[in-house]
Amino acid sequence: MTSVVLTGSGISIADIVAIARQDAVVGVADPVRERLIAARRILENAAAGGQQIYGMNTGLGANLKTAVTGDFVAFQLQLIRGRGMAVGDPLPRDATRAVIAARLAMLAVGGSGISLSVFEALLAMLNAGVHPAMPSIGSIGAGDLVLLSAMARVLVGEGRAEYRGSVYPADEALSLAGLVPVTLRPKDGISLLNASAVSAGLGTLALYDAERLMNAQREAAALSFEGLGGNPLVLSPGIQAARPAAGQAAEAERLLQALVGSSLFEAAAAIQDPLSLRCLAPIHGALAEALSRTKDAVEIELNAAADNPVVLVEEGRVLSTGNFHTPSLSLTFETLGLAIAQSAGAAAARFIQLTGSGRSGLPRNLSPVGGPSAGFVPLQKTVAALMASIRHKANPVMLDFLSVSEGVEDHATQSALAVQKLADMLDLWRFLIACELLAAAQAVDQRPGHRCGEATARIYAMVREAVPPMHEDRPLGEDVAVLASRILDAGQAGA
């Protein structure tokens, strides 16, 4: 069985995906435990010395100036119960596992001051397959504490949790897994809650899927290049060097390699193709760059002590921070969404070029029989609808916030929402890619004597293995669904 070991650094998106979707067992390196113990000692010494420590001996948010002088353990229970305000459908199983894994990775850095017993209880809950029923709406990107309340409450035996396909009261789910509720010590509650684990955890899954869809988009675009009879000279290395935009040279080379062996190199091509074809390299290069930057931002979160307050072990002190705030994370996801929408827009434009009666030399509507045949034209409406939804999802949300907690929390980043709308965009993009693949393969069929490149021939064969050519009008939506499932299955196989 796959395993992932937490060392306090170096956790990758692939690690979180393995935990979330392959049920990888999570282990912990001994130095992590030693660091957690050291951080806890610093925290307790600071509190014993009279230091005000947010969420340990003070209230939260607007209650910051309210001292906690009574039962500190009871206050931690009050704290996690009082943040259980999330609503909406519960997160799927893989998403919940990704969230817990992300929080464990962050805690393993050693900046929270969490009790070792609570850290290990969270670890045991994940490895045992007890998954809190975690509502999906409630984060504004200033820490995901309202959503993470469900995770913390299940640890203490409250709320509900899924175990082996059924949902139980939390204490029953823990018992079935051979676990017992944990007792929170001072600050343990806020240590579980006050971080961007939902944004980062869900972000890992979205990025993993986006990377695979980008590969599918590259394949669809390459097959469209064949179907539209594109001019491969536009991919020449000298052109890319003349304006070395981010990712452009690598994408041009990738497409050029996909076309190796194609008869396009022997044909008299148009001087200038439509921009959706001619500008493939810079469009995909921008997307590749946005994807890379977003991956970097997520992995920073996964390996960071993003707690407030934070225990600085090397300095031996506890300080309040703003590290739970995620403007960089939100901005990269917003940018990635725009880059995906731009790439999808080019794919939609190529689809229209393929299925219209323009300069491509292809038969009208891609119909081999002509006459009253509608061919692929009705599918243009579906493509237009998909693009409208993608554009809607690409609209930024990180500036949409209200001042809450009596003005103490007067800024937010909406990182969880930015991640979620990008994840929603991916399903739309997948169907659009399937539409392009279907039309591009039909276009290749309508070019007698054309020879695809070695890689594009394999892409064409994949399409034709799934769906036959269109000879007479038929419900192409069913073909699109089949191809979209193939793309999804390929992505899951990669997971």
Q: What is the predicted pLDDT for the residue at 267?
A: 84
Same domain assignment for residues 397 and 431: yes
Provide the pLDDT confidence category of residue 69 given band limits of 50, 70 and 90: low
Lowest mean pLDDT among 29-43, 58-72, 272-286, 291-305: 58-72
**At residue 300, does pLDDT exceed 60?**
yes
Over the chain, what is the mean pLDDT? Answer: 91
Q: Is 290 within 8 Å of 332 (Cβ atoms)?
A: yes
pLDDT digits (tens, 9 = 90+) for 21-54: 999 999 999 999 999 999 999 988 988 888 877 7
pLDDT digits (tens, 9 = 90+) for 161-181: 999 999 999 999 999 999 999
CATH number at residue 50: 1.10.275.10
Same domain assignment for residues 221 and 319: yes
Q: What is the predicted pLDDT for the residue at 495?
A: 36
Q: What is the predicted pLDDT for the residue at 83?
A: 83
Q: Which domain holds residue 10?
A: 3-195
Provide the pLDDT confidence category of residue 401 given band limits of 50, 70 and 90: confident
**At residue 240, does pLDDT exceed 60?**
yes
Provide the pLDDT confidence category of residue 60 given band limits of 50, 70 and 90: low
Provide the pLDDT confidence category of residue 410 given band limits of 50, 70 and 90: confident
Mean pLDDT value of segment 303-331:
90
Q: Is 459 within 8 Å of 215 (Cβ atoms)?
A: no
Mean pLDDT value of segment 332-361:
92
DSSP state string for 127-152: HHTEEE--EEE---SB--HHHHHHHH
Bridge partners, residue 27, by sequence = 5
Mean pLDDT value of segment 86-96:
95
Q: How far apart are alpha carbons 66 and 129 in whole angstroms?
A: 38
Of 148, 164, 195, the residue at which a domain comes to its end is 195
DSSP state string for 415-478: HHHHHHHHHHHHHHHHHHHHHHHHHHHHHHHTSTT----HHHHHHHHHHHHHSPPPSS---HHH
Q: How far apart are alpha carbons 32 and 26 in whole angstroms?
A: 13
> In b/e form, how buried is each residue of 27-47, taking b as 16+ CB within 10 angstroms?
ebeeebeebbebbbebbbebb
Q: Is 199 within 8 Å of 415 (Cβ atoms)?
A: yes
Of 138, 167, 195, the residue at which a domain comes to its end is 195
User: Three-state SS for 6?
Assistant: strand
Q: How far apart are alpha carbons 360 and 69 in whole angstroms?
A: 77
Mean pLDDT value of segment 64-71:
63
Same domain assignment for residues 191 and 291: no
Mean pLDDT value of segment 71-75:
74
Provide the pLDDT confidence category of residue 1 given band limits of 50, 70 and 90: low
DSSP state of 405: T
Report the percent of the chain where pLDDT is more than 70: 94
Of 195, 212, 227, the residue at which a domain comes to its end is 195
Same domain assignment for residues 222 and 284: yes
Helix or strand run (H / E) with residue 358: none
Same domain assignment for residues 252 and 151: no
CB atoms within 10 A of CB 446: 17
